[in-house]
Structure 1
Amino acid sequence: MSTLYRRLADELRAGIANGTYPPGSRLPSESELAERHGASRGTVRQAFTVLAADGLISSRKGTRRLVLGPALRQSFSQLHSFSRWAASIGETSGVRMVELVRREPTDLEAERLELSADTRIYHLTRVRLLSGRPVMVERTAYVERIGTLVGGIIADAGDESVTARLEELGVVFAHAEHTVSAITAEAEDARLLGVRPHSALLRELRRTTDPDNRPLEWSDDRYLGDAVAFTVHSSVRASTLIRSSAPSR
């Protein structure tokens, strides 16, 4: 069994450690590394697989591999806000607006937002981008008083962080419940993210409440499987949920 791919992986790992390839930079392409080391592209891909398994580079194929930074502990505001999280890992956030509609809540939305069936909600659908790459479909149901504000924010600012603007307007996001699960992409998710149907996605369901524990929003966020990882740190006293950019395994 050839060990060339392991030597190559060790060399690249050393380059990442000493700053030759800092977090956020791209490694040389498969063809460049193959020529430089007199190896096949298959050998280079094996080295990439080793580094991806160690969480050092992205596992996305068809492009130069991205060097990943260490998982970052996040404040509540970073975990709640995609834009703040992107900034915390050195990425540029972006958004593609799909729709904002005022409608009756579904049974699940009414339950999670503690609403009666005859009330109205605002439902926002957007595609979130990391440095230009679509990585998440965001579907958020807001109680009407918050949704009215969201409508004004979207009309005025478009791609600005909705969370930050709501906070400026006096809305306090105090508590959140998160449920994370693995799913496959439905047709609409696949179309919005530019992937094949049934591709692996990570789903985060989130209910956010104010300081009086009144529901403000119920969100169904669906991430590309190789875009993020969620880590829970547990102890007797507390558990901390961390979102990080990470490769799929």
Structure 2
Amino acid sequence: MGTPLHEQIAAEVRRQIATGELAVGAQVPSESQLCALWDASRGPVRQALATLRAEGLIGGGRGKPPVVRRQALSQPFDTFLSFSRWVDGLGRSAGQRTLEVALRPAPAEVADPLHIDEGTPVVQLVRLRLIDDKPTMVERSTFVESAGRLLFDFDCDSGSIYAYLAGRGVDITVAHHLIDAVAADETDSDLLGVALGAPLLRERRLARGSGGEEIEYSDDRYRPDMISFTIENSLQAAQPALVRSLRPATEQKKSAS
């Protein structure tokens, strides 16, 4: 079954907002224009626009044409595991520069969450992640040996590690996330181009297989002028939805000045 038409329309408008084709304050194509463009009835078009309004990307209504309200696009929780998938979905370019991939004894701070003994061999990875060639996040991942050894046969600068591991039969389907703030250390400062001790957003992630087995523990540190996190919930929802947002270019410039 293909993607519903209203989702296709919403995705295309999101892409145009993310790439700047539709800037903040710009008028979004009208219902009639979208109907003609997509050869669609008003039902799917209205559903797509309603979705974008609910996400806070567009505003207007009651006879007024919809306009772009913000560029900060949010990542649904079900894709939070993959930075590359999220960035590519925004119509941006995800990049990475690998600093190290090494087999070493597990220190206590990663052995505990992975439920292994301290000193057990693990594979540790450090990568700088980029959006449109801009340093955005430092990724420090530790994989259990059985999964991590596969990375020695992979060019970690070439793309998504999770996609590669999935293709090699590694099951990573569930994750627990803890988000807090941390001061930039020397590595963070050098790679992200921020001052030593500058505040960073940190996401610590424990990824598991569908059977509950621990696969990876990661410490990811984001520039807060580039990325933000929000929680969306409702009285009807059993679990809140965590989303990661790319800050608008105008806000990034203000933060850098």
TM-score, with structure 2 as normaliser? 0.68
SS of the residue corresponding to residue 205 of structure 2 reads: strand
Check if 1:90 corresponds to 2:91: yes
Deviations 1:194-244 (A, max 9, x none): 222122210000000001111000000000011111111234512211111
1:118 offset after TM fit, Å?
3.8
- 1:117 maps to 2:83: no
Contact kept? 2:174, 2:208, Cα under 8 Å: yes
Deviation at 1:162, TM superposition (A): 0.7
Q: Distance in 2 between matches of 1:98 and 1:137?
A: 10
Q: Which residue identity is paired with 2:140?
A: R
Question: What is the one-letter code of the residue matched to 1:107?
Answer: A
Give the Cα–Cα distance (whole angstroms) in 2 for the partners of residues 159 and 199 of structure 1: 30
1:160 matched residue in structure 2: 159
For 2:75 and 2:83, the matched residues in 1 are separated by 14
Aligned counterpart, 2:180: 181
Letter in 1 for 2:91: G
Partner secondary structure for residue 183 of structure 1: strand
Aligned-residue RMSD, C-alpha: 2.8
User: Percent identity over the alignment?
Assistant: 31
In 2, Cα distance between equivalents of 1:95 and 1:235: 36
Name the structure 2 match of 1:63: none
TM-score normalised by length of structure 1? 0.70
Q: Are the structure 2 counterparts of residues 27 and 187 from structure 1 closer, same or farther at C-alpha, using a change threshold of 3 Å?
A: farther
CA change 1:226–1:166 in 2 (3 A) is same
- Deviation string for 1:171-204 (max 9, x for gaps)? 1212111011122211111001122212221000
Alignment-derived partner of residue 12 in structure 2 = none
Q: 1:70 to 1:85 in 2, by over 3 A?
A: same
**Deviations, residues 94-124 of structure 1 (Å, cap 9, x unaligned):** 0111001110111011111111124200000
- Cα deviation code 1:25-58 (max 9, x no counterpart): 3999xxxxxxxxxxxxxxxxxxxxxxxxx999xx
Tell me if 1:197 matches 2:196: yes
Counterpart code for 1:143: V
Instruction: List aligned pairs for 1:1-249, cutoff 5 A.
Output: 22-25=17-20, 69-74=71-76, 76=78, 78-154=79-155, 158-236=157-235, 237-246=238-247, 247=251
Q: Post-superposition shift, 1:68? A: 5.4
Is this contact kept in 2: 1:72–1:89, CA < 8 A?
A: no
Mapped to 2, the partners of 1:27 and 1:210 lie a distance apart of 39
TM-aligned CA distance change 1:238 to 1:200, over 3 Å: same
Equivalent AA in structure 2 for residue 181 of structure 1: D
